[in-house]
Amino acid sequence: MACRGAAVVSLHEEPSSLPATTTTRAMFGAGAAGGGGSSSSLKPTIGRWWRVHIHSHRAPADRAPPFAPPNAIKVPSPGSKNKQALLREMSKTLESVSSNLLERFIDTAYRFSEQPALNQGNFRPVNEIGEVVLLNDLSGEVPEDFPEGVYIRNGPNPLHPTHTIADSIFGSTSYMYYEGHGMLHAVYFNKSSLGEWKISYRNKYVESDTFQLEGEKNEVAFVPSADGEPYATLVAFVLNILRFGKAVKDSANTNIFEHAGRAFAVTENHLPYEIDINNLNTLGPYSINGAWDQPFTSRPKKIHGRGDLVIMATNTEKPHYVLGVISSDGEKLLHKVDLKFEESKLIHDIGVTTKYNIIMDYPLRFGISRTFLQKPFIENDMNGKSRIGVMPRFGDAESIIWFDVENHCSYHLFNCFEYGNEVVVRGCWILGSIIPSDRHRADKSKWFGRAFLRPDKDLEDFDPSLDGILFSRPYEWRLNLESGTANEGYITSENVAMDFPVINDKFIGIRNKYGYAQVVDSLATSKTGLFKFKMIAKLHFDKPDKENGTDEDDGWIVTYVHDEGTNISQVYIIDAKRFSEEPVAKITLPQRVPYGFHGNFFYK
């Protein structure tokens, strides 16, 4: 069986602090994987849970005033006069042709075909069901004290899955798995007046600008551009910009998060889209009343005890990294600052503690200008340098304390917190990028077959730049603010790969005892390069504190699960305190739910 994404729901009140306890190396207990054939995997859809708290606070006296937003960057510039001239010349030539002729040029110059791996098994897209469907096929019972609300998971669901490779006289490009249009899958938990559970399901596309455009055309609109040969990528970018005003789609497929009682679907290259969680209708982009004109991280972090939201933007052009803080009511941008990165980095996550923003900086470079140098649009530098920055909440680029760490390309964090004179950062560590560059296109199967498997240094042909570079494991960085030194290392067994970590959201930014992560089916993943997971692990970071009146794991894990043998999808509810036991409830869904990305639980 395969589960995709796990979320934590808790009932207890939010604690103001946790007493210090001795940190121990993590152990983990995995939930039962259940049936299915040899190719099946317990596959997680990542989800996180929270109780919505809305706080209203006055800004401290020393807080910097809100920054006026810079001019919007609409069309990325290649970065030099010659390159700009070339783009202008291409633009003038193509703009002189009518839109109909441009469409005919695409039809004549390009041949589209299918990437089978993106359209097989549970990666194959599904249709919208439309109306809400009541769910009556349930094994076990939903706990009486389980909260009313809705669990929503986001993920890619291509409109045209058989047209994901584009071959032309310029070369070949293709869509990546991460580019499908966002589709929301929601399971609603409501109680009747008699206290009986009423459970229902609905799914719906996020109606982003480009989803509506492709829906109206009823055909592929954007030429694939993010993955491919550099020259072909450049031409695809130019064609997309000329035709639609943007180089790539705003797919809104990566996460759905809550702020100020509102829900937002998001991916990293565009503003979030507000969603009505009652019917999954798309309400429109969220720009914080016009104050934010940058891309928007898909993993924002809420500040413990305040409710303000820390966000970031990574850009192909300057400013390459912009950090923002949104007020707890979602109406004001309290802080906006350019961190003055010298080059563009594709950074997926950001951390917070009670006082600091935690900036991950690793050499996963991206940008249209790279294609002029015959480099891939996205590429990780295996020999590059990585660092982690500790930044005061309302600081600037000069206020960041940087710590050099072992080079890595880690996408996901468990949590960050202050501990004495240290800042502790926990995440899932990988050396390489899960987004392959064009340099691996010639033989992706060989690359996947070695990169995702546990590295064996005793092999005669062991290659440290390839073997095990995508074998992801929980990891800890301890950043000493007094000495300026960093201690780091793995915190779980070297035999098990994990990723997509979550914690009880009430403990974001403060010391926590438990984490939950998806256990990778490394063998199945190595065959296609598309992540498959076979179970969920509970990590124990600290010894239980019997004197603490609040139990961090007093709640449930909820996840989508797919059985590849029966082709049936379910929702599991797992008691977090009885983690290794059978789920307390298994709810069968009316259709298959494809594997996806992040999600959340929204309390009624």
The tens digit of pLDDT for each residue in 144-156 reads 999 999 999 999 9
Residue 105 belongs to a domain: yes
Bridge partners of 536, per DSSP, are: 518
Residue 428 belongs to a domain: no
Q: For residue 256, how many C-alpha atoms fall within 13 Å in the half-sphere facing its CB?
A: 36
Please, which pLDDT band fits residue 448 given cuts at 50, 70 and 90? confident
What tokens appear for 33 in the block? Answer: 């994987």
Strands 599-603 and 48-49: parallel
Decide: helix, strand or coil at residue 380: strand
Identify the sign of the CA torsion 13, 15, 21, 27.
Answer: positive
148 contacts 189 by C-beta, under 8 angstroms: yes
* Mean pLDDT of the residues in the chain: 84
Does the pLDDT of residue 79 top 70, yes or no? no
Please, which pLDDT band fits residue 130 given cuts at 50, 70 and 90? confident
Task: Return the higher-pLDDT residue of 351 and 27.
Answer: 351
Percent of the chain, pLDDT > 70?
81
pLDDT at residue 357 in the model = 98
47 contacts 599 by C-beta, under 8 angstroms: yes
pLDDT at residue 29 in the model = 30
Contacts of 25 (CB under 8 A, 6+ apart): 491
Please, which pLDDT band fits residue 361 given cuts at 50, 70 and 90? very high
CA distances from 131 to 70, 134, 253 (A): 42, 10, 21
Residue 173 belongs to a domain: yes
Spatial separation of the C-alpha atoms in residues 393 and 353, rounded to whole Å: 9
Q: Minimal CA–CA distance to 358: which of 327, 403, 319, 318?
A: 403
What tokens appear for 81 in the block? Answer: 């006069």
Residue 160 belongs to a domain: yes
pLDDT at residue 377 in the model = 85
Residue 8 belongs to a domain: no
Identify the sign of the CA torsion 449, 453, 457, 463.
Answer: positive
Residue 53 annotated as binding site: no
Spatial separation of the C-alpha atoms in residues 201 and 184, rounded to whole Å: 11
277 contacts 150 by C-beta, under 8 angstroms: yes
Identify the sign of the CA torsion 85, 90, 91, 97.
Answer: positive
Please, which pLDDT band fits residue 176 given cuts at 50, 70 and 90? confident
Residue 412 annotated as binding site: yes
pTM score above 0.75 = yes
The residue type found at 143 is P
Residue 569 belongs to a domain: no
Q: For residue 286, how many C-alpha atoms fall within 13 Å in the half-sphere facing its CB?
A: 27
Please, which pLDDT band fits residue 437 given cuts at 50, 70 and 90? low
Q: What is the mean pLDDT of residues 30-54?
A: 31
Quick one: how far is CA 264 from the chain centroid?
13
Spatial separation of the C-alpha atoms in residues 59 and 327, rounded to whole Å: 9
597 contacts 154 by C-beta, under 8 angstroms: yes
Residue 246 belongs to a domain: yes
47 contacts 6 by C-beta, under 8 angstroms: yes
Element (H, E) at 405: strand 401-405
Could you report the per-residue pLDDT of 524-569, keeping only the tens digit for each? 999 888 899 999 999 999 876 554 546 899 999 999 999 999 999 9
Residue 167 belongs to a domain: yes
End-to-end CA distance of the chain: 30
Please, which pLDDT band fits residue 6 given cuts at 50, 70 and 90? low
Domain tally, the chain: 1
**Greatest Cα-to-Cα distance within the chain, rounded to the nearest angstrom:** 75
Rg (CA), the chain: 23
Range of the structural domain that residue 138 is part of? 96-254+594-603
Does the pLDDT of residue 418 top 70, yes or no? yes
DSSP string, 451-496: HSSPP-TTSTT--TTTTTTT--EEEEEEEETTT--EEEEE-S-TT-
Q: Burial of 514 by CB count in 10 Å (0-12 exposed, 13-18 middle, 19+ buried)?
A: buried
What tokens appear for 448 in the block? Answer: 């996947």
Please, which pLDDT band fits residue 465 given cuts at 50, 70 and 90? confident
Spatial separation of the C-alpha atoms in residues 209 and 435, rounded to whole Å: 25
Does the pLDDT of residue 23 top 50, yes or no? no
Please, which pLDDT band fits residue 443 given cuts at 50, 70 and 90? low
Please, which pLDDT band fits residue 94 given cuts at 50, 70 and 90? low
Decide: helix, strand or coil at residue 232: helix
Peptide bond just before 319 cis, omega within 30 deg: yes
Percent of the chain, pLDDT > 90?
65
DSSP string, 316-370: SSSS-EEEEEE-TTSS-EEEEEE---SS-B-----EE-SSEEEEEE--EEE-GGG
